[in-house]
């Protein structure tokens, strides 16, 4: 494994969920640029294939809300890569509703993708991460896990679940030398949530940052690449912010 750069990933085999667009695509490109071979797990088959072709990786179409399909996709990724050294859970869905209008279906659907799929990919890939000798799991949560807003109760709950899962997984997988961390991005202006935000929202969010702006997908990807590298081998069980200073705890 190369450690010649601050986030060296040369020779590493990475599985990235939700890598077809947005933050996930930026993560795929960043890991590939650092020398990793990447398998993308995403229900958006065309987008996943396009990003995979761009970086010389592999695309596997999967509905992450289907437990059996998740298991099969993880097995396919391991077969394609010859193992797994890095797992990045980025896939997520978003919907807004006040608690009084929240439906059971909304809860079940968001929890299945944002929460349960994280558990299942870790479960299925844990033996391969352990065999790596320096496995790393990075689960993308959200600053909503620490500082939610009205109308996002379900989304906030799913992302808090990601942080909690990651913390316990750090203890359980750490005995095999596997690090597990969650990353909490701030407002990132990707397709996710685009239908519910306005220019006024973006201006208000930016005003809440010491840097006067929102977070870019590339900034999240840089932290993920660092956590996947050997330079981060002593960091585990953490929920790290990339919020342009909007959250400081």
pLDDT in tens, 127-180: 999 999 999 999 999 999 998 889 999 999 999 999 999 999 999 999 999 999
Helix axes 153-174, 104-111, angle to 10 degrees: 30
- 5 within some domain: no
- 2 within some domain: no
pLDDT-based confidence at 219, cuts 50/70/90? very high
Residue 190 near residue 21 (C-beta atoms within 8 A): yes
- 7 within some domain: no
pLDDT, residue 169, reads 98
pLDDT, residue 174, reads 98
Q: Is 155 a known active-site residue?
A: yes
The whole domain housing 114 covers 13-241
Q: How much is the mean pLDDT over the chain?
A: 92
**In a 3-state reduction of DSSP, which class is residue 107?**
helix
- 246 within some domain: no
- Start-to-end CA distance of the chain, whole Å, equals 33
Q: What does pTM read for this prediction?
A: 0.92
**In a 3-state reduction of DSSP, which class is residue 151?**
coil
Number of folded domains that form the chain? 1
- 3 within some domain: no
pLDDT in tens, 221-245: 999 999 999 999 999 999 999 999 9
Residue 92 near residue 111 (C-beta atoms within 8 A): no
- 1 within some domain: no
pLDDT-based confidence at 6, cuts 50/70/90? very low
Nearest to 223 by CA among 3, 34, 15: 34
Q: How far apart (Å, rounded) are the C-alpha atoms in residues 45 and 40?
A: 10
Residue 146 near residue 244 (C-beta atoms within 8 A): no
- 24 within some domain: yes
- 182 within some domain: yes
Instruction: Please pick, among 94, 155, 205, 226, the residue that the annotation labels catalytic.
Output: 155
| Residue 19 belongs to domain with CATH number | 3.40.50.720
């Amino acid at each position: 494994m190369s450690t010649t750069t601050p986030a060296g990933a040369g020779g590493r085999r990475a599985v990235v969920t939700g890598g077809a667009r947005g933050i996930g695509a930026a993560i795929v490109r960043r890991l590939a640029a650092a020398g990793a071979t990447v398998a993308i797990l995403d229900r958006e088959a065309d987008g996943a294939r396009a990003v995979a072709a761009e970086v010389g990786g592999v695309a596997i179409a999967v509905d992450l809300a289907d437990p059996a399909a998740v298991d099969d996709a993880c097995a396919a990724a391991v077969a394609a890569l010859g193992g797994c050294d890095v797992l990045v859970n980025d896939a997520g869905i978003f919907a807004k509703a006040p608690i009084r209008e929240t439906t059971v279906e909304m809860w079940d659907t968001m929890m299945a993708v944002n929460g349960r799929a994280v558990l299942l990919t870790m479960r299925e890939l844990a033996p391969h991460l352990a065999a790596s000798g320096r496995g790393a799991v990075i689960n993308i949560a959200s600053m909503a896990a620490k500082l939610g807003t009205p109308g996002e109760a379900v989304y906030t709950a799913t992302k808090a679940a990601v942080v909690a899962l990651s913390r316990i997984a750090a203890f359980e997988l750490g005995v095999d030398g596997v690090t597990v961390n969650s990353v909490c991005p701030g407002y990132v202006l990707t397709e996710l949530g685009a239908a519910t935000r306005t220019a006024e929202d973006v201006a208000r969010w930016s005003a809440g940052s010491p840097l006067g702006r929102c977070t870019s997908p590339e900034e999240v990807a840089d932290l993920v690449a660092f956590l996947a590298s050997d330079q981060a081998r002593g960091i585990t069980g953490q929920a790290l912010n990339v919020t342009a200073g909007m959250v400081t705890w």
